[in-house]
Amino acid sequence: MSTGPTSSGTERAWDTEDLPQGEAKVAAVRQMFDAIAPRYDLVNRIMTFRLDVRWRRKAVRLLALPAGSTVLDLASGTGDLCIDLARAGHRPLSCDLSFGMLSADRSGAPRIQADILRLPVPDGSVDGVTCGFALRNLVDLPTFFAELGRVVRPGGRIALLDVGIPRNPLIRWGNGIYFGRIVPRIGALLSDAPAYRYLPKSVAYLPAPEQMVADLRAAGFHDAEHRLLSGGLTQLLTGTRGRPT
């Protein structure tokens, strides 16, 4: 992986034309989120025109678990989903790789620092899992889905959000211009330019929806479904853990 000098003269692992892979990607992602944590919420709200708030609430609604459920929010960042889960009457647990993001978590949920590909949680111990906007940051999605199949109890539910690729060519074109040109400028003004240049490029890591649905079904979520939200700006995967065979 190549790295390049930044405007501040220092080199950062995510400031690269290439998309990092494997352990280099894990390190780059952790350092990047540590760096952008203080302004993460502000930039998110501005760049999505607060649609991100609506997408997370929809994910919690479609999780469709009874109040009082224990829900592990994976790649929890600053705790937005944990706040929505608590508002819905659930007992959220926050888990993230980045110490900076966990430090900025203001949800009050118990926090765990871990790589979500290796969850420090017993088999079948949670009623549900949520994950917001992190699938593209992971090095191995089938391993992640298998971890979900391991930790979610039979009958438990998952709701996973990530950025989408709109199907309508006009919306896709507008979205490409917005994320490719405008978001990096907003990021540069308010936070970290290379991190917000990485954002549109990182969508390339995401497999096709059909592939993710097939992988989730193979991991034990027999009714896994994929939805596009807001014309495809965001995608949502949901599913129920079947009985292990």
Ligand X SMILES: C[S@@+](CC[C@H](N)C(=O)[O-])C[C@H]1O[C@@H](n2cnc3c(N)ncnc32)[C@H](O)[C@@H]1O
The single residue among 47, 82, 101, 158 that binds ligand X, judged by CB under 6 A, is 101
Selected from 15, 96, 105, 215, the binder of ligand X by CB under 6 A is 96
Task: Please report, as residue ranges, which positions from 23 to 42 form the binding site for ligand X (by CB under 6 A).
Answer: 26, 29, 33
- Choice between 47 and 224, CB closer to ligand X: 47
- Return the residue of 14, 58, 80, 240 that touches ligand X, per CB under 6 A: 80
The answer to whether 163 touches 203, Cβ cutoff 8 Å, is yes
Could you tell me which of 66, 45, 67, 46 has the C-alpha nearest to residue 56?
A: 45
What lies within 8 Å, CB to CB, of 155 at 6+ separation is 240, 241
How far is residue 13's CA from residue 4's CA, in Å, rounded to a whole number? 8
Minimum distance from CB of 211 to ligand X (Å)? 19
Strands (E), 97-200: 111-113, 126-132, 152-163
Instruction: Using CB under 6 A, pick the residue from 15, 115, 147, 192 that binds ligand X.
Output: 115
5's enclosing H/E stretch is strand 4-5
Does residue 105 interact with ligand X by CB under 6 A?
no
Q: How far is the CB of 18 from ligand X (least distance, A)?
A: 18
Residues that bind ligand X (CB under 6 A): 26, 29, 33, 75-77, 80-81, 96-98, 101, 115-117, 132-134, 137-138
